[in-house]
Structure 1
Amino acid sequence: MTPEPTAETFYDALEAIGQPVVTATRYAQQRDLDHDEATDALDALVEDGPLLRQDVSSDPIVYYPEEWSRMTDRERIVVFPDRRQLVVDQPRQFTRAQLSQFARLIDTTGSEGYLYEIQPADIWQAPYDDVDALLGTVRDVLPDREPDLEAWIEDQWERAHQFTLRTHEDGYVVLEAASADLMGNVARQKLEAGQLRAELSDTESWVAEESVATVKRTLYEAGYPVVDRRDLDTGEPLPVDLHPELRPYQHEWVESFLERRSGVLVGPPGSGKTVAAMGILSRIEGETLILVPGRELATQWREELLSQTTLTDDQIGEYHGGQKQVRPVTIATYQTAGMDRHRHIFDDREWGLIVYDEVHHVPSDVFRRSTDLQSRHRLGLSASPVREDDREEEIFTLIGPPIGTDWDALFDAGFVAEPTVEIRYLPWADETARNEYVSAQGHERRQLAATNPAKIEEARQLLRQHEGQQALVFVDYLDQGRALSAALEAPFVSGETRHARRSELFEAFRSGQRDTLIVSRVGDEGIDLPNAEIAIVASGLGGSRRQSSQRAGRTMRPDGRARMYVLATRGSREEDFARQRIRHLAEKGVTVTEQSAQAVESDAPESDDPDSS
């Protein structure tokens, strides 16, 4: 018979293990119990009061003494070396800064707790000259030496320095391996015929110029990131100064980028990635190509460059459907830069810097053609480079490693306002709407839930509640956008809106002349709406995690706290989508709450969706 658990036996186990918290697995090993017995024993102590439990992810769950929860000023770090995860409670700013050098924040546990994970790419791109310096930082942060973890870090560091691209004295590109075995059994086995033109030695191969990006991507996927040390031109000198003073973390971004010559700035909207990019431009002082997904963003870049730098109007060109100017700083759309009839214009220029704005588009077939353009420096910008097709690794392979600051740290420092996100679950507007949903299938069913007429009245009440504040209402469906526009007496901006009219409405919103806009997916990215205080997501929950970040990001500004409301139909798959998509924001430290809306009374049953669980 298993003895009754006591606080004393728990403390004995903690002392034997040498950690401030314990998982059921470790407790079972220490007390010679099976996993279920250990879980039952620990849960019983939680119910009796001396212990607390914390779900840091689906696994592990950690247990710790209740009195420790009152020690709010104490930093605690628990290491799970097999998972390469760290649970950090009440971290100091120094600890966060150090962790950002070799780990990434993947979840928040609530009550100032954070879950970090160390992935191979974090070690490959760690900003250190040698592995000893990296291990020095790891040892400064962790409470104890972790030999197995350190051995894994050393192995990953070595992998990241096995292949190098360099320029031969005759001008062609050479791939060099640290050993003949790596060149023969990795590079020449993985790469296709024609990508390596010739064997120069046992450790060197001539790389086809057009295959450089493919070679880097293939070896990265094989677990061997390539160090790129090619001699690339910077074009004509371009002296330029930046007007605003960079924030401390923006200085770190700039220095980190210049050290590596490539990278992706990852930070929440409002954190100043564009200004940091201009800071990089002013340090490089070379001809620059800026690639953007749409014409609105091209216009915004031009205006920002003129207001934030010493560049003059005749030094900045735009190259897209509306204009065809190539100048020392050229702003072009991805689509135009990838077209065969325009490609030579960009190939013939020697770029010192290429900026890929909204860089998460790059893995798509149309956009990735721009990654073959040659430049000494490549800079990507994105609030959230995650992709639903899990191709974000290609972003870092084609452009460079992620460079960023934890969203939570920027919230705490006051550089970016943390929005409060609230999921509101609505009943059906009436029995007819509910019956239509029950009878529908597939996409029609999703659309009916997304366009539930009850959302119109809920949006109206929310706008009344926040009267006088600037609000954006996001929709995915044109009919819903038109219905909301009529009901709320606010303009609807969609892809069908003429470019001139769209620009006029955005400028009116930006200047405060309009306080409400209904926006389709055209507003998800690449449009500067700095004064949005309220965001209402009426539909679009089936979209990507990145979309939720972008829509929440419309309210992330330094001045004041803003709110984002996500409307989901109760008893439909929208409930699941809401939790899944908004969880991505919660993992970044954004406060997320849930509430049942009272705007519409209905006797609809709690769930009408046979697929919901």
Structure 2
Amino acid sequence: MPDGPLIVQSDRTVLLEVAHPAADAARHALAVFAELERAPEHVHTYRITRLGLWNARAAGHTAAEINATLTEYSKFAVPASVSAEIDETIGRYGKLVIERDDEGTLLLRSTDAAVLTQVMRAKKVAPLLIERRDDGSQVIEPWARGQLKQELIKLGWPADDLAGFTPGTPHQIDLDERDWHLRDYQQQAVDHFAEHGSGVVMLPCGAGKTLVGAGAMAAVKTNTLILVTNTVSARQWRDELLKRTSLTEDEIGEYSGLVKEVKPVTIATYQILTSKRKGSYAHLELLDALDWGLVVYDEVHLLPAPVFKLTADLQARRRLGLTATLVREDGRESDVFSLIGPKRFDAPWKEIEAQGYISPAECFEVRVDLPFEERMEYAAAGDDERYRLAATAPAKLDATRRLIEQHKGERILVIGQYLDQLEALSQELGAPSITGATPVPERERLFQAFRDGEEKILVVSKVANFSIDLPEASVAIQVSGSFGSRQEEAQRLGRLLRPKQSGLTASFYTLVARDTVDQDFAQNRQRFLAEQGYSYSILDAEVPAA
């Protein structure tokens, strides 16, 4: 495209001119293989990374397609060095293959003997290999399948794992589609997963990731372990499975801090799996309690670090990761790629919105000013204290009250990070609050009252970030967050994206203290939403939104 919206630079950064007529189409095409790094108002900066290219390759995209995308949308000629780097990087995927021989022995093979020789001599790879066979393949330690994949990707040679999976104990699971059916993109996600047996499906919040999980379970029909973020999420998974599949209550168990049931389909929390007693993990026996044929990781971008080690030992079982974003604040995206599997399916948020499956949303950043006394306190504070002072600025209470008045009658979530701030908001607004200290039965009661319209406003902590189904929420007011977490921004907007009977467009407000680290962190959080095609309008707290 002459005069396109992209400028591709030799350092593998890509600049996107936001106001260009083709910007949305270019953004969607870029999201397949590039990561958004900065998203100021007029020009967004993307970076083409190795992991992004390998995820694209695993999802079926070729180097030729990726280079064609850059050429089509670029304003100037794409640097030859970038095209060559894309070809070379994509070509590395699949040069190494993990498979089994007829006796079931794990083998590492390569079409390039030099590559195989190079990796087998690496200090951390050599101990994972037992012997070299006459055909050049390397026998792998039976326990080392996951660890080997981690080490190979660090060396820049991601292995294509074709060693197959244990079938697990068969268990009949069918979808009950009498009054519903999988949407086209959900069925595609199930099909892509079933073809490969491991990997990550990316869908926006509200687009039915749980239904994709149910579809995968019905496809493989085996005992299934489902790992979720918290107990409320576990209950929602159970309710959806009872509603959408042939499973009965006797077939679904909950394994959490409250209940310890092991059944053909068991739903466990990450917290219980990572809890320790006398220095060792107390519930690891759950991983071998039944012959699981499928492990589902809900919100895989939040997978706690200890679970990676446990997952390295589960490589013979099918693994499905579900998430709205592969972004991890700890930088361990390559471990998701290695141990859960690469991205198998990705549906852009805006495409699903255009089909009417998730609600349209408008995003606003509302800037409040700190009074002179608070600015002086902020200026004198240490680095650790400055964000708390800015994030909990009292001026945010007045701004919240005005926004609620503006959206009177709608169902509103006020979301924050600091408990004292949330308590003050709850009291001032006369609205119930839900935090980590709220007992699960009380949380479920309040969430249901909100769904039923008995409660119009809920003040919630980060416990509402994850897997909470509140379809009629049309307004979220974010008063404080986890510093610059892009994960959290995606999760919080996701609370508003379920289709609404009211037909209202969702409104997502972030309250920010002007000229503070609060504003800096907000810019980082917004990167993920900008990548999905959402733009932010900047508002002054003293001026009502349109």
Structure 1 position 522, deviation (Å)? 1.4
- Partner residue in 2 for 1:427: 369
Structure 1 position 179, deviation (Å)? 3.7
Residues 39-188 of structure 1 aligned to structure 2 (within 5 Å): 60=7, 83=12, 85=14, 99=29, 103-104=33-34, 106=36, 119-126=49-56, 135=64, 143=72, 151-188=84-121
What is the letter of the counterpart of residue 424 of structure 1?
V
- Partner residue in 1 for 2:156: 223
Q: Is 1:419–1:591's contact at 8 Å kept on the other side of the alignment? A: no
Separation in 1 of the partners of 2:40 and 2:419? 38
Greater CA drift, 586-595 or 231-240? 231-240
Q: 2:313 aligns with which of 359, 372, 377?
A: 372
Structure 1 residue 235 corresponds to structure 2 residue 168: yes
Q: Which has the higher contact order (CA 8 A, sep 6+)?
A: 2
- Partner residue in 2 for 1:255: 191
What is the letter of the counterpart of residue 147 of structure 2?
T
Q: Over aligned residues, Cα RMSD in angstroms? A: 3.4
Greater CA drift, 340-349 or 209-218? 340-349
Query: Aligned with 1:365: secondary structure?
Result: helix
Give me the TM-score of the superposition, normalised by structure 1. 0.77
Structure 1 residue 20 corresponds to structure 2 residue 2: yes
What is the letter of the counterpart of residue 508 of structure 2?
M
Structure 1 position 385, deviation (Å)? 2.3
Q: 1:271 aligns with which of 207, 211, 230?
A: 207
What is the letter of the counterpart of residue 487 of structure 2?
R
Separation in 1 of the partners of 2:59 and 2:201? 21
Distance 1:575 1:101, change over 3 A: closer
Query: Aligned with 2:481: secondary structure?
Result: coil
Q: Is 1:104–1:117's contact at 8 Å kept on the other side of the alignment? A: yes
Greater CA drift, 108-117 or 376-385? 108-117
Residues 507-522 of structure 1 aligned to structure 2 (within 5 Å): 507-522=448-463
Greater CA drift, 299-308 or 518-527? 518-527
Structure 1 position 481, deviation (Å)? 0.9
Query: Aligned with 2:143: secondary structure?
Result: helix
Q: Is 1:90–1:113's contact at 8 Å kept on the other side of the alignment? A: no
Structure 1 position 466, deviation (Å)? 0.7
Structure 1 position 273, deviation (Å)? 1.4
Give me the TM-score of the superposition, normalised by structure 2. 0.86
- Partner residue in 2 for 1:321: 257
- Unmatched segments (≥5 aa) in structure 2: 276-280
Separation in 2 of the partners of 1:96 and 1:444? 37
Structure 1 residue 436 corresponds to structure 2 residue 372: no
Structure 1 position 487, deviation (Å)? 0.2
Separation in 2 of the partners of 1:92 and 1:286? 44
Separation in 2 of the partners of 1:190 and 1:241? 47
Structure 1 position 80, deviation (Å)? 6.3
Separation in 1 of the partners of 2:149 and 2:382? 44
Q: Could you give the per-residue CA deviations for residues 93-114 of structure 1, whole angstroms, max 9, x where no partner exists?
A: 99998x4796347489999999
Q: Is 2:308–2:335's contact at 8 Å kept on the other side of the alignment? A: no
Separation in 1 of the partners of 2:25 and 2:403? 40
Residues 207-606 of structure 1 aligned to structure 2 (within 5 Å): 207-242=140-175, 243=177, 244-338=180-274, 340-362=281-303, 364-366=305-307, 368-402=309-343, 403-428=345-370, 430-540=371-481, 542-559=483-500, 560-598=504-542
Distance 1:129 1:437, change over 3 A: closer
- Unmatched segments (≥5 aa) in structure 1: 1-18, 23-53, 61-78, 601-613
Separation in 1 of the partners of 2:59 and 2:342? 16
Structure 1 position 396, deviation (Å)? 1.6
Q: Could you give the per-residue CA deviations for residues 289-313 of structure 1, whole angstroms, max 9, x where no partner exists?
A: 1111211111111011001112111
Q: Could you give the per-residue CA deviations for residues 458-490 of structure 1, whole angstroms, max 9, x where no partner exists?
A: 111111111111111111111111111110001
Q: Sequence identity of aligned pairs in percent? A: 36
Q: Is 2:150–2:335's contact at 8 Å kept on the other side of the alignment? A: yes
Separation in 1 of the partners of 2:519 and 2:27? 34
Q: Is 2:168–2:222's contact at 8 Å kept on the other side of the alignment? A: yes
Rg larger in structure? 1
Q: Is 1:180–1:203's contact at 8 Å kept on the other side of the alignment? A: yes
Greater CA drift, 485-494 or 508-517? 508-517
What is the letter of the counterpart of residue 452 of structure 1?
A
Separation in 2 of the partners of 1:281 and 1:127? 25
What is the letter of the counterpart of residue 479 of structure 1?
D
The aligned length equals 526
Query: Aligned with 1:351: secondary structure?
Result: coil
Separation in 2 of the partners of 1:117 and 1:250? 29
Q: Is 1:334–1:370's contact at 8 Å kept on the other side of the alignment? A: no
Structure 1 position 118, deviation (Å)? 5.2
What is the letter of the counterpart of residue 274 of structure 1?
T
Structure 1 position 594, deviation (Å)? 0.4
Separation in 1 of the partners of 2:59 and 2:536? 40
Separation in 1 of the partners of 2:60 and 2:473? 45
Greater CA drift, 351-360 or 146-155? 146-155
Distance 1:391 1:346, change over 3 A: closer
Separation in 2 of the partners of 1:542 and 1:134? 36
- Partner residue in 1 for 2:278: none
Structure 1 position 422, deviation (Å)? 0.8
Q: Is 2:415–2:478's contact at 8 Å kept on the other side of the alignment? A: yes
Separation in 2 of the partners of 1:271 and 1:250? 8
Structure 1 position 150, deviation (Å)? 6.0
Structure 1 position 375, deviation (Å)? 4.3
Structure 1 position 390, deviation (Å)? 2.1
